[in-house]
Structure 1
């Protein structure tokens, strides 16, 4: 970006700054361009969004307020429009749509939205709604009952997925996403199709994709947590996650013996299991493609070295700690 004062290219700077929101103070990594000659700072719409999202994300996490993707997911679960969901919850006709677009709900409305994610509560709310006719009520209640039955049938599998992915609430260690096992699965399938990497490289590809997405939007793709181990950043519980995917035939993991005497596990896409792009936004798909293009020809040994030079690994490897997504702002190699 060129300085509107001197016309010279400005440097993108990142500095810690306290920002007030709703009578509270939050520390963020403030992004701006700085004119070296005048000392003045400038932002773009994209940088304003990154700065604002950091504040909003911390506020939501602190007060247990659902994030937009969760709010959207709850509505879609019942097959309703945003207007109908507002009607059932007793909100203004456009209120739920505004929450989906990023407006932060009050604490009371946030709790109401979280409660209605339970089909039993949704049924109760539908029955209490005085503006719906009996036929419409019956339709919505039937859908919720089917959902409750489906949840009961898949309880063990859902519990296992929650255990493997962490089952935690969105916070800075998940990239302010609730873990999405389905998206994580598709990310693995994507890189298996594009690159067929060995396990160690797969872990780094997943790390770079999630952290790059966070750097540019303040949200990860999968909601997975990553730990710093000796071989570099890896998804938490990666061994169990990959075993589950292989056992479910989501991807093939082939054992390869090398002349040096060690064995490698290579991810290979299945012809009968193509990548499902419909789960991702255009920006998320762009991020996956970018990571694949940058690291396609990078060897496993080299991507380990690259990951070892990242602050995300260096600052956490001693204690093998879970990595804060704030380190995304310090990525060097992408």
Structure 2
């Protein structure tokens, strides 16, 4: 961006700042351009959105307020319209619709929406709503009963998935997304289709996709937590994750033997699943394609060395600890542009 004062290109700067939202203060990585001659600071619409997203994300996380995709997911699982959902919750139609597109609910309304995620509680809300048409009420109650029965039948499977992929929103450690098993499976499938990578490379591809998406939007794609180990950043519990994806037919793991006596695992596609781009936004697909193009011809050992240049790995490797997604803002340096 050029300075409106001098016309010279301005460097992009980042610094930790405290910002306030609804009388609560949070620390964010504030992005801005600085005119080196005048000292004046400037932002763009994109930087304003990124700075504000960081602030809103921390407020939601701190107060257990669901994110927009979680709010929409609650409604969609009951197969009701936004207007019907607003009636059931006792909210104005426009108020509820605004929640699905980004407005942050009050703490009371957020708690109500979170409780509605439980089909048993939702049934009671539907029964007490006096403005629903009787036919609509019956359909919604039937859907809630179906979900209750389904949850009871699938509880063991749900518990297993939560154990393998994680089930909690850990804020900065998951990129302000709850772990999404289906999205991660599709990411693995995407990279397997594009390049048949070794396991070491697959781990780094996932890391870069999630962290670069966070760098642009303050959200990860998969909601996975990454750990810094000797071989670079890897998804937490990655061995169990890949075992599950292989057993479910998302990928085939092929063992490659080397003259040295060592062996490596290659991730190939299977006939059971095909990549589903509809699960991803256009921006997320741009990230996935960008990562694939950047690292397509780079070996597993080279991408491991590149990942060792990342501050997120450097600062956490000694303790093998989880990597804060804020390290994504350091990723426009020598590592990925080497």
- Which interval holds the TM-score relative to the shorter structure? over 0.9
Number of residue pairs aligned between Structure 1 and Structure 2: 334
Partner of 1:218: 218
SS of alignment partner, residue 94 of structure 1: helix
Distance 2:176 2:242 in 1: 23
Shift of 1:170: 4.3
Q: Unaligned regions of 5+ residues in structure 1, if any?
A: none
* Maintained 8 Å contact 1:170/1:179: no
Are 2:50 and 2:217, in contact at CA under 8 Å, matched by a contact in 1?
Answer: yes
Measured in 2, the distance between the counterparts of 1:280 and 1:81 equals: 23
Secondary structure class of the residue paired with 2:149: helix
Match of 2:262 in 1: 262
The residue number in structure 2 matching 1:39 is 39
Aligned to 2:207: 207
For residues 251 and 265 of structure 1, what CA distance do their matches in structure 2 show? 12
**Corresponding residue number in structure 1 for 2:169:** 169
Deviation at 1:58, TM superposition (A): 0.8
Q: Which whole-Å deviations, capped at 9, do the CAs of 1:65-92 have from their partners, x for residues lacking one?
A: 1111111111111112222111110001
Give 1:324's aligned residue.
324
Matching of residues 127-276 of structure 1 within 5 Å? 127-276=127-276
2:297 is matched with which residue? Answer: 297
Cα root mean square deviation, aligned: 0.9
In structure 2, C-alpha distance between the alignment counterparts of 1:278 and 1:88, rounded to whole Å = 30
The 1-side partners of 2:82 and 2:173 are apart by 30
Q: 2:178 & 2:224 partners in 1: Cα distance? A: 8
Are 2:249 and 2:272, in contact at CA under 8 Å, matched by a contact in 1?
A: no
Query: Which residue is 1:306 aligned to?
Result: 306
Rounded to whole Å, the distance in 2 between the matches of 1:221 and 1:170 is 14
Q: What's the TM-score once normalised by structure 1's chain length? A: 0.98
Q: Look up the SS of the partner of 1:154 in the other structure.
A: helix
Counterpart Cα distance in 2 of 1:329 and 1:294: 18
Q: Supply the distance in 2 between the matched residues of 1:273 and 1:23 (Cα, whole angstroms).
A: 48
Runs (4 or more) in structure 1 with deviation over 4 Å come to none
1:35-63 deviation digits (Å, cap 9, x = unpaired): 11111111011100110011111111111
Residue 30 of structure 2 is matched in structure 1 by: 30
Distance 1:271 1:291 in 2: 24
Distance 1:190 1:96 in 2: 35
Offset of residue 272 of structure 1: 3.7
Aligned residue number for residue 80 of structure 2: 80
Q: What is the DSSP-based 3-state SS (H/G/I as helix, E as strand, rest coil) of the residue aligned with 1:227?
A: strand
Check conservation: 1:82, 1:94, Cα contact below 8 A.
no
Note the C-alpha offset of 1:271. 3.3
Paired residue secondary structure (1:19): strand
Instruction: Tell me the equivalent position of 1:16.
Output: 16
State the partner residue of 1:6. 6
Secondary structure at the residue paired with 2:61?
helix
